[in-house]
Amino acid sequence: GIWKDEQIESHRKVVRVVKSNNVRIGLQLVHSGRKGSGLPIWESSKGIAHSSIGGWTDEVYGPTSEAFDEISADTKELTISQIERIKEAYVDVAIRADLAGYDYLEIHAAHVYLLSSFLSPISNTRKDIYGGSFDNRFRFLLEVVERVRNVFPENKPIWVRLSSRFLKDIEVELVDCSSGGMSNREVVEYRPLFQVSFAQQVRERAGVQTGAVGIITKPSEIEEILQLGQSDIVSLGRQFLLEPSFVKRAAVELGVDLSYPNHVQ
């Protein structure tokens, strides 16, 4: 994490190693919201992490007091003053990220995490300025992005993980198109490349750069997405955890000369 100043130096070490290989590095900012205090994924994909094992069941917050599902921690409704403090926390983290040397930030606003849960009328039934109309439900995310943009250097881009055309107007350089997860009752067919079309539609209709994500596992798939102009970048998460040497395999399969990082030469 980077929620306190003492953590900046540890991040600097990571940034220095990555940049020594002429690679850019960014930081994703996310508030867990109603998904807070869950068990580590290597223990269980569902269940509550209680305080005895490092959980924070007394500090799980959302737009309302409705929990994500029956096996998630009880949720407390955020007050206006708490929302204000969270916005300031995003600002503080953005400043630390810049001091650590990160090249860009991505604000995670998908998959029922806090900012995402404010966007949907399914999870946000508030009656104040942060609920009701679309503009009100979008307000929290916009305020976070605007405040982060005000303190993060202009030459460093900000991405948002979401499917939206409204972010271009507030100087978000790239929309990382992801969807789903808002309700445990949703019926979504998870299959390879199932979200690529979202990235393409947002890119074409909103005129903003996009990233494609979601069960993309083959180098040939990535190359085709980029060559067809379906997105500007492709992001991988689980595939790198499953296969740390994925870049090496991609280079071999696509016939790209591979140079090894300085620290292993």
Main-chain phi, psi angles of 181, to 5 degrees = 85, 0
Asked if residue 179 has pLDDT above 60, the reply is: yes
On average, the pLDDT of the chain sits at 89
Confidence grade of residue 85 (pLDDT, cut at 50, 70, 90): very high
Cβ contact 56:37 at 8 Å: yes
The string of pLDDT tens digits covering residues 183-203 is 666 656 678 888 899 889 989
The residue count for the chain: 265
* Alpha carbons 43 and 66: distance in angstroms, whole number: 25
How many CB atoms lie under 10 A from the CB of residue 51? 11
Question: Can you tell me whether residue 171 is helix, strand or coil?
Answer: coil
Cβ contact 124:131 at 8 Å: yes
* Alpha carbons 171 and 163: distance in angstroms, whole number: 15
Pick from 64, 99, 100, 111: nearest CA to 83: 64
- Domains, the chain, in order of start with CATH, read 5-34+63-264 (3.20.20.70)
* Alpha carbons 87 and 108: distance in angstroms, whole number: 14
